[in-house]
Structure 1
Amino acid sequence: MTDRPCILVPIRVLDGESIPDGVPELLANAYVVLLGYHVVPDQTATGQAKMQFEERANARLDKYESILRDAGATVERRLVFTHDGQKTLDRISDEHDCLAVLVPNGTRPPEEVLVAVRGTAGVSRIAEAVAGLFSSTDVAVTLYHVTETNETDDDIETFLNGVRDRMTELGMDASAVDTRTDTEQKRLGAIATAAEEYDALVMGESDPSLTTFVFGMPAEQIADRFHGPVFVVQREASESS
């Protein structure tokens, strides 16, 4: 059994966002950093907004924290009033050394999760996140790889078997991990299409960036095409530099 993976769950707490159905079950084995944040106009002081809205924001966070704890998660919460949501999210993630951020879209209680993998960078952290979240559950995991023109069948098999072996070392049952490949060259579109058959998606930060998912840019990418929850596993600092 792995240690609980640290997952950042950002909620625009005063803008109608909440914890959707299915998300508490996804996070039952996680250490959740529940970030309630509100982006304040540049002309408004963050301290002023805090005095005006803190009580209402905390009341909502109380409810969301209770929902996550009741599902089994360990929860630490933060409330931030900020002029820059992107910088706040990155800062909180760094401060807590979060393994992944969750875009908390709704889903049914999870049964099948798609895990998009490529190359070797970040794969160990993806395996750590998946095993930590799902090794003690009945969730079935599918490793999904969009092949590149210079890859042979042996290369692909070796790569996917290596990822599966790493997950089993971390506690996953090998029988719960399947593999799937696609030759579609438009990789992000292929992932978005494949993800529609699953309850949640796990992928690396570079596919595209964490902030692309959270803030909805660009519009044609996965965050807009797949409306289920997305775990974006962050790269280590050495990989990001």
Structure 2
Amino acid sequence: MTDRPNVLVPIQILEGESIPEGIPELLANAHVVLLGYHVIPDQTAPGQARMQFEERAAPRLDQFEEILEKAGATVDTRLVFTHKAQTTIDRMIYEHDCVAAIVPKATRPPEEVLVAVRGTVGVDRIARVVAGLFGDTDVSVTLYHLAAEDATDEDVQTLLDGVADRLVELGMDEDALDTRVGRGKNPKQAIADAADEFDAIVMGESDPSIATFVFGMRAKQVAERFLGPVIVVQRERPQTEAETETETETDGNPNEDD
């Protein structure tokens, strides 16, 4: 079996959010980085917010950790009081080497998962996530590609067969894999239409960053089209980007403040 992929699960810990139904089963083979965060006003110091809210937030985070571990996941938790939610989420993704983040929405225990394949870029990362999460399960995986107008059926099938071969190399059962090709639609709408019969979507992120995709306007667009969870596999960050990233936060263990 492929190593457990690191997956970020962000929860607004004091805003009534919880672990939706079906998410523990979906991530049973993951190493979950469970981020409980609370956005505070600019004039509020993180330390002040921690003294005010930690006693209420920490037990909720512990409860969610227990739910995920009971399903089979391994879990690291982080409790953060932040002025900048997206910056914190993005930092957690990179600090904890998360290959994916999830838009957590309710689903049934997964039986059918759609994997959107946009092209050859990032395919190996997607394959490692899919094989890591579902390679040792009875989940059926459908590889879906929305073909360009000038792409031949043969070219598209070669692409999808290559992804399928890589999944088999990583331990997936060939009989659990299927392929599907779409044409002539807006990509987001096409994926959502194709996903109607599935329990979850796995797809690569769009530029410029996973945080923008998962928690910005594009997330709202996806949510309007698909009601289930979306696992977004992050692009591999260039080293220069990592070196130039600036972030000022005070670390704790396991708690961190912006």
TM-score (norm 1): 0.95
What is residue 97 of structure 1 aligned with on the other side? 97
- Contact kept, 8 Å, 1:103 with 1:213, in 2: the verdict is no
Pairwise CA distance, 1:208:
8.5
Q: CA deviation at 1:238?
A: 3.1
Aligned partners of 1:189 and 1:221 also within 8 Å: no
- Amino acid in structure 2 at the alignment position of 1:113: V
Give the SS at the match of 1:118. coil
Distance apart, 1:216 and its partner CA: 4.5
Query: SS at the partner of 1:222?
Result: helix
SS in 2 for 1:69: helix
Output one character per residue of 1:125-170: Cα deviation in whole Å (capped at 9) or x when no partner: 0000000000110000000100002211111011000000001100
2:40 corresponds to 1:62: no
Aligned-residue offset at 1:214: 3.4
Instruction: State the secondary structure of the residue aligned to 1:151.
Output: coil
- Residue 224 of structure 1 corresponds to which residue in structure 2? 224
Relative to structure 1, the CA distance from residue 206 to residue 240 in structure 2 (aligned partners, 3 Å threshold; closer, same or farther) is farther
Q: Which runs of 5+ in 1 are unaligned?
A: none
Post-superposition shift, 1:44? 1.4
Structure 2: 5+ residue runs without aligned partners? 242-258
The 1:240/1:115 distance shift into structure 2, 3 A limit, reads: farther
Equivalences for 1:1-241 in 2 at 5 Å?
1-206=1-206, 209-218=209-218, 221-238=221-238
**CA distance 1:67–1:219, change in 2 (3 Å):** closer
The question of whether the paired residues in 1 share the 8 Å contact of 2:12 and 2:38 is answered with yes
* Alpha-carbon shift at residue 185 of structure 1 (Å): 3.0
Conserved in 2, the CA contact under 8 Å of 1:205 and 1:233? yes
Contact residue 9 and residue 101 of structure 2 kept, 8 A: yes
Alpha-carbon distance in 2 for matches of 1:181, 1:223: 22
1:2 Cα offset (Å): 0.6
CA drift of 1:240 comes to: 9.7
Aligned partner of 2:122: which letter? Answer: G
RMSD: 1.7
| In structure 2, distance between residues paired with 1:116 and 1:237 | 20
Contact 1:127–1:166 (CA<8 Å) still a contact in 2?
yes
**Which residue identity does 1:83 align to in structure 2?**
H
